[in-house]
Structure 1
Amino acid sequence: MDSVWYGGERRSCMLKVSGIARQYIERETDTHIEIIQKHHDHDRIKFYYHNEIELFSFVKSWIPYIRIIENDPLSNKLDEELKRFLAE
């Protein structure tokens, strides 16, 4: 199925998850989330997505408990988007 969410190549991004987001994800693991490492205070997960909008929507819904790691271009793009939002 082609749409804004499901068209094109499937990509992945590493995320650091803590707090209540961590508890939710450990309980409600979906097919687009893979828990890579568990630590005493956070988890590292791989989030699979087709479009950046999908990734950014997920991360924004869990701020400040989730952040993008190991992908500076995506992290910087999200930071800029959030700065523009807060400036309005």
Structure 2
Amino acid sequence: MDTNLKGPVAAEIATRLIAALSPISLAVIDDSDKHAGHSGHDPRGESHFTVEIESDAFTGQSRVARQRMVNSALAELLAERVHALAIKAKAPGE
């Protein structure tokens, strides 16, 4: 798992995903700098993320179901703090 989390929002994303989905691997990548000057960019940073997650919970689930599971775990952050989230979710062995 990626332990090089830079800020409190990234750390909270990791904490919530670990609690909800018990991932085998997890990377939370802050993409905010790539969006400076674009709509939704927050000058505080930590507004755009990519999550790469592998979990047994995704076995037998469709891509949409997997994204819904991640979104559900992060619902409060997505409503209040995170503007954009790219999700790369896979089951073991994929």
Bin for the TM-score computed over the shorter chain? 0.3 to 0.5
Q: Normalising by the residue count of structure 2, what TM-score does the alignment of the two structures yield?
A: 0.33
Report which of the two has the higher share of strand: 1
Higher relative contact order (CA 8 A, sep 6+): 1
Q: Normalising by the residue count of structure 1, what TM-score does the alignment of the two structures yield?
A: 0.34
